[in-house]
Structure 1
Amino acid sequence: MADEKHVSLYIAASLDGYIADELGSVAWLEAFEREDDAGYAAFLENVDTVVMGRTTYQQIFSLTDTFPYSKKNVYVFSRKKAQTADEYADFVSGNIRKWLDEIESTNIWLVGGAELVKEFLKEKAIDKFVITIAPVILGGGIPLFESDSRHLLELEEVAQYGQFAQLTYKNLEE
């Protein structure tokens, strides 16, 4: 990956580390009244590329009527090579490191899901982790991290947004 590229994982998780419930839904996040956006708008403004897995991409359309990333370069990683693009995104597959080397983006947001996060972790391709902890224990579901290896991080910031705690870490391994 070129030095000027930065990949950030910016994601919400339950206190017990799940990003979706047992049915794969993130609708549980809608239960919380929010007075602010937890820094989301400022983060998104600095992103030029959004990358996610196919399931995450499909779920966006069940949560909103308008595609929220239409002004960004959007890539969807998929094991199915049925399509190469639609009106919102380019569909890609294969090696993450190779993909990162080929794109011309500088600030990349890894939206999710868990499988794609695991693949980026394997490649040591995440520079920053911004994890917003929701005040709920789901007791099961899709865990944020399914990695089978350690990753050394350094805490950069802790912020509180209402009942949410946002932890920002820098990856010390490259």
Structure 2
Amino acid sequence: MKIQVEFNPAAVAQYRLLGYENRALREEDFNNDKVDAGDIGAGHQVTAIYEIVPRGAQGWLDPHRYSDPGNRFEAKPRELAFVKLRYKLPDDTTSKLIERAVPAALLASAGAPRGDMAFATAVAAFGQKLRGDPLLGNLTYAGIAALADGQRDYYRQEFAKLVGIAGSLDTRGNDVAVR
């Protein structure tokens, strides 16, 4: 399976994919059926989390002198991104393609993550925190635990405990609240 996401610069100023740095695929290999990507078994799911900075908001990078798209991207002002998914069924040699536009209105109506998405966000943030990601800003272990709060599943509760333990062992002086 291969997934390609293209963000509309009229809507998104900056973006980054969290946690898949070692799974990058060259753009020219997306349509090449001889180049494999990740395998996803039947009944399994994959979650990809992008951090985005909406156009006009302050991001982590200074604006580039020549990055103002002007009116070049106004042809699709209602699109946030365009997603292409290419997959092969077992024993197939030719891939199938699914393409979908992501409406920009989803960004305007997005709220704080809840349920499974909050948990996935907490896991991604925890990984970034352990790596010392400077772009997390002032997100603390307590903040990560709060994202994962309210989980009833045993493994998710264990994750919350692990976040608390990591916070109690952090020697960098982060604001830590252990539960």
What is the TM-score with the length of structure 2 in the denominator? 0.25
Larger radius of gyration: 2
Q: How high is the TM-score relative to the length of structure 1?
A: 0.25
**Greater RCO (Cα-Cα under 8 Å, separation 6 or more):** 1
